[in-house]
Structure formats: C-alpha cells, structure tokens
C-alpha cells in the first residue's frame, strides 16, 4: 500500500483551525491540490474533484473510543461497508481493530491486507447471506456470523455447521437516520423458537447482536437494546446455551459519543456486569471515518436561479427564501454525495476560493466539530461572511435529482473555477459512488496528519509495520 501522493510535511497550522486533531494537515493538503488544479485549469485541464483524507483523524477516533467509558470493555469491529479504503483498513488493523464484513468481497479485502488480521477478527455481520457466501466464509476460516431467521439456520447447517452464530435481534431504531430494523433483526417473540431450532440442529449459537440504526440520535435506544439482549440471553439459557458474546453494533456519531458511551457503559454494567465474563464488541462505521475525509469540488457552471425554481430536495425548515444563483459542481448525488440519498445526510459547503483567489482561512469550519456540537441543519455553517448569496448547489449529471443543496448561503463573489470544500465526508460516500453519466469517482489523496501528535503516532505505527516487512 502506498500513500498517494506521498506523505507531506504539514504547513504551519492556521490558528483558527487548531484543534486537538490534525485538521490543519487536511486543510493544507486540500489547499495544495486546489492550487495545483487551478494552475492546471488555466491550461485547460484538470479541475476535477478529490477527497483529502487524514489518517490522523482515523487514529484520533480510535483513541477517542478507547479512552471513553466503554473503551476498556467494548472491542472495535470496524464496519467495512462504511468506507473500505485499503489505507483505512490497513491502519485500523495495525491499531488492533477487528472487522465487521457483510460480503465475501469485504472479508477477502480485509484478509488480503498486508496487515491482515486472523480470520477470528472478522464477524460476518449480515443476517441474510447467499449460501455460497457462507461456504466461502467456512473456507476462509471466518466462523462468526449473524442470523435472524430459520432459513438462515438451515443454510448455515449445510454450508458451515461449525460456525459461531450470533442472533441479531430487533431493537428500537425509530430515532436513527437509517432504520436497519426495517430489514433485519428477529423480534423478541421469535427468538425463543429460533434458539430452539438452532439447538435442535446442533448449531453453536454464542450470543446476541443488535444495531440501533445508523446515525442514532437517542441514547435510550442503546439502553433499551442492551436490556432486550439480556432477555434473549435468558431465553438461550432455557434451551441450553450459555451465551458469552454480545455485539452492540454501530450507530455511534462523534458529536454525541460522550453521552452515548456513558449510557452504553451504564447498561452493560447493569445487565452484563464484567464478572459474568461476557465478551462485548461493537461495529462502528461512521464514528471512525466520517471526520477523516474532506471533499473538494470545483464550480463548473453558474446560472441565475429561475423564479420559483422547483427544489429537488425540500428546503430546510425555516428557510422560506428561494435561491438567487445556481452553482454546478463536479461531484453530485450519483457520486460522493450519494450520502444525501442513501444516508439522509445534509452536507455543508464552505468556499476554498472566492473569485479564483484563496478564501480567508477563518471561513473554514474546524473538523471534526467539537464533541457534542451538532452541525446545523439550517442554511449553512456560520462562515462569517458579511455578504452572502442564497444559492442552490447541483451535481454534474443531466438529472435534476442531482441536487446537493437546494438552498444554502455562500459568499457573494464565488464564480466558475472556484473551489468548494465539504467536511465530514468519510462515511457512506465514496463506497457507494457510481460513474453514472460518465463522471469519474473522486479520487482520494492521503495525509497521515502532518506534524500533529496524531500524525506522528500514525507514522510511528506505519513505520513500525513496514520495518518488519
């Protein structure tokens, strides 16, 4: 694995950007590539969009987890689906993280890493698998897998009878951005009979898993889910199992993590006290990668807004004005911004350049945002410009659903050729981007985090690994 472009030394950090994390390095990387792109655009080529990714921010998220109230109790199994970039997987594996995979391609990617974990550091956390995938897991030594229905048990009996099974239960996800319970999870009143069936098939069920929904907004959902899991442990005992495994899934967000981890710890202590010897794992995705990726897009076209232009996505609550200007950028909802459709995200632009000159650094938000600060869902981040324009922002394809923001403030003076940055773009973005209409996926450029403490740690971990190769 190579860093591309090679790791750069950080430029001096801008004061306003200084946070404990290495966002200065990612802003410096964005600036550098934007400057190169603007030069190239003069010559008539390469204004293409790109991601700048900071491994220092991934490292920081892992440390944040480990220092939290659940850090010494709950093992990390990173949800690969969220962002399967090999550099992210490699670093996480070196940091001792295990992996939640949902397909053969995902566990093959993990097991083929230069820092490949042992197969028992993978959980195949997809309750409805094709039989061929179960056989492939058996061949790869991936034994831990979830189920939530009777047919899955019969399939597993045929394809991988020695598997270590985890019963995925249904929990309340009504306050989450993505409600996974619409598709997965056994309701509590079906669990006893599923466990009895598993027992009659002589299958090895080791415990319970749940997922409170991705982007969980209500900590009570975690508390309730742990309580439900405890109930199912009781049902298992009645049919002769002695469960010692609990998987609390994903759903964590950086902004609310302090509160969530507190509640999870309390619930674990209440229902699964440590002396009972239950191994607890979690499958965070978004929490580990969201802040690490910034997207830079350039403005490829601009039009005066049509009167009463129909908005493809509803205007945010309280925003009654219509846009004055329409900007067209070179990534959209068919590309990296698929998170707007699939992951219900509201994305926040900030100008990297204005009038084809660098925007004042003070205009930039600090990423990741400080703990317990939710990004606003209204017009815009407070960018501090006096003279703003109401704008809509559109992707590059021919489709009118390709609307990135239907109404947002951008400073007056932004024009064709200018660059717009988007923070918090690491989760459920590049992994689901298409090339619809012939638009390439935005490539990723990496930094290890510059001269920040996180950056130095990342390089120490990578160097230590490479010196053994």
Task: Kindly list the residues in this chain that would bind ligand PLP in the complex (CB under 6 A).
Answer: 79, 82, 100, 125, 180, 211, 214, 249-252, 283-287, 427
Tell me whether residue 178 is one of the annotated catalytic residues.
Answer: no
Active-site residue, from 101, 128, 339, 398 = 398
Quick one: 27 or 211, whose CB is closer to ligand PLP? 211
Min separation Cβ 156 and ligand PLP, Å: 17
- Cβ–Cβ under 8 Å, residues 211 and 173: yes
Min separation Cβ 79 and ligand PLP, Å: 3
Quick one: 249 or 349, whose CB is closer to ligand PLP? 249
Quick one: 147 or 419, whose CB is closer to ligand PLP? 147
Neighbouring residues of 365: CB distance < 8 A, sequence distance ≥ 6: 348, 350, 381, 383, 423
Min separation Cβ 287 and ligand PLP, Å: 6
Quick one: 93 or 209, whose CB is closer to ligand PLP? 209
Picking from 80, 114, 81, the residue whose alpha carbon sits closest to that of residue 98 is 80
Quick one: 79 or 295, whose CB is closer to ligand PLP? 79
Min separation Cβ 378 and ligand PLP, Å: 24
384 Rama sector, left if φ>0, alpha if ψ -120 to 50, beta otherwise: left
**How many CA atoms does the CB half-sphere of 148 hold within 13 Å?**
22
Min separation Cβ 78 and ligand PLP, Å: 9
Min separation Cβ 379 and ligand PLP, Å: 26
Min separation Cβ 243 and ligand PLP, Å: 19
Quick one: 97 or 214, whose CB is closer to ligand PLP? 214
Quick one: 249 or 395, whose CB is closer to ligand PLP? 249
CB closest to ligand PLP, residue no: 250
CA angle 131, 133, 138 (to 5 degrees): 100
Min separation Cβ 203 and ligand PLP, Å: 20
Neighbouring residues of 119: CB distance < 8 A, sequence distance ≥ 6: 107, 111, 140, 141, 142, 143
Quick one: 287 or 385, whose CB is closer to ligand PLP? 287
Catalytic residues: 398
């Amino acid at each position: 694995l190579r860093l591309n472009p090679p790791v750069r030394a950080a430029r001096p950090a801008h004061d306003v950007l200084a946070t404990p994390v290495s966002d200065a390095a990612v802003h410096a990387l964005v600036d550098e590539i934007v400057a190169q792109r603007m030069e190239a655009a003069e010559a008539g080529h390469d204004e293409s969009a790109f991601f700048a990714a900071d491994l220092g921010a991934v490292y920081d998220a892992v440390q944040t987890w480990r220092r939290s109230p659940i850090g010494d109790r709950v093992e990390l199994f990173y949800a690969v689906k969220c962002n399967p970039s090999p550099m992210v997987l490699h670093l996480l594996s070196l940091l001792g993280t295990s992996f939640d995979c949902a397909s053969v391609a995902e566990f093959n990617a993990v097991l083929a890493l230069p820092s490949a974990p042992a197969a028992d550091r993978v959980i195949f956390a997809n309750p409805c698998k094709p039989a061929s995938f179960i056989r492939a897991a058996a061949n790869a030594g991936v034994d831990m897998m979830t189920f939530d229905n009777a047919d899955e048990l019969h399939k597993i009996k045929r394809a991988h009878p020695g598997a270590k099974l985890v019963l995925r239960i249904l929990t309340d996800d009504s306050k989450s951005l993505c409600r996974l319970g619409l598709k997965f999870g056994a309701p509590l009143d079906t669990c006893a009979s599923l466990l009895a069936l598993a027992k009659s098939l002589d299958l090895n069920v080791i415990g319970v898993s749940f997922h409170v929904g991705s982007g969980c907004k209500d900590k009570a959902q975690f508390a309730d889910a742990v309580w439900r899991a405890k109930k199912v442990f009781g049902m298992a005992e009645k049919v002769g199992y002695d469960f010692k495994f609990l998987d609390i899934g994903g759903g964590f967000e950086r902004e609310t993590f302090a509160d969530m981890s507190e509640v999870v710890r309390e619930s674990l202590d209440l229902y699964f006290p440590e002396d009972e010897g239950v191994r607890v794992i979690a499958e965070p995705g978004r929490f580990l990668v969201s802040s690490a990726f910034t997207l830079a897009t350039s403005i490829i076209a601009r039009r005066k807004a049509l009167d009463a232009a129909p908005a493809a996505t509803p205007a945010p609550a309280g925003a009654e004005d219509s846009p004055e200007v329409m900007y067209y950028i070179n990534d959209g909802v068919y590309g990296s911004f698929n998170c707007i459709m699939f992951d219900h995200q509201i994305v926040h632009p900030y100008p990297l350049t204005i009038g084809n000159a660098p925007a004042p650094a003070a205009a930039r938000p600090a990423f990741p945002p400080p703990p317990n600060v939710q990004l606003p869902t209204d017009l815009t981040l407070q960018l501090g410009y006096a003279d703003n324009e109401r704008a809509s922002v559109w992707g590059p394809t021919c489709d009118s659903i390709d609307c990135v923001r239907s109404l947002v403030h951008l400073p007056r003076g932004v024009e064709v050729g200018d660059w717009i940055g988007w923070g918090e773009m690491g989760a459920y973005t590049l992994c689901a981007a298409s090339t619809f209409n012939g638009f390439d996926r935005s490539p990723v450029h990496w930094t290890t985090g510059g001269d920040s403490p996180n950056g130095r740690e990342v390089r120490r971990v990578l160097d230590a690994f490479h010196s053994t190769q």
